[in-house]
Amino acid sequence: MTQRLHLVFGGELVDPTKTTFRNTDDIHVVGVFPDYDSAHAAWKSEAQRTVDNAHMRYFIAHLHRLRDEEAAASSTEELDT
């Protein structure tokens, strides 16, 4: 079974209509989650916690979409043996 990892992160934006962070050193990494449902729950919790700050935004990155499953593994990647 293929694992579908999701990263939840957020921070303060320069402009609430854009996606440029005010300070990338201050990005809050909530965590990496094994499925979309748990990532969405974490995203929702952080978004609700910071609802009073219009410049704060949280995002879900679909880490599994960043890989090409058909490509050969790199020398630093664990291999299934």
> Would the pTM of this model clear 0.75, i.e. be above it?
yes
- Domains detected in the chain: 6-66 (3.30.70.2400)
The string of pLDDT tens digits covering residues 8-60 is 999 999 999 999 999 999 999 999 999 999 999 999 999 999 999 999 999 99
pLDDT at 74 over 70: no
Sheet holding 56-62, edge to edge: 28-33, 6-12, 56-62
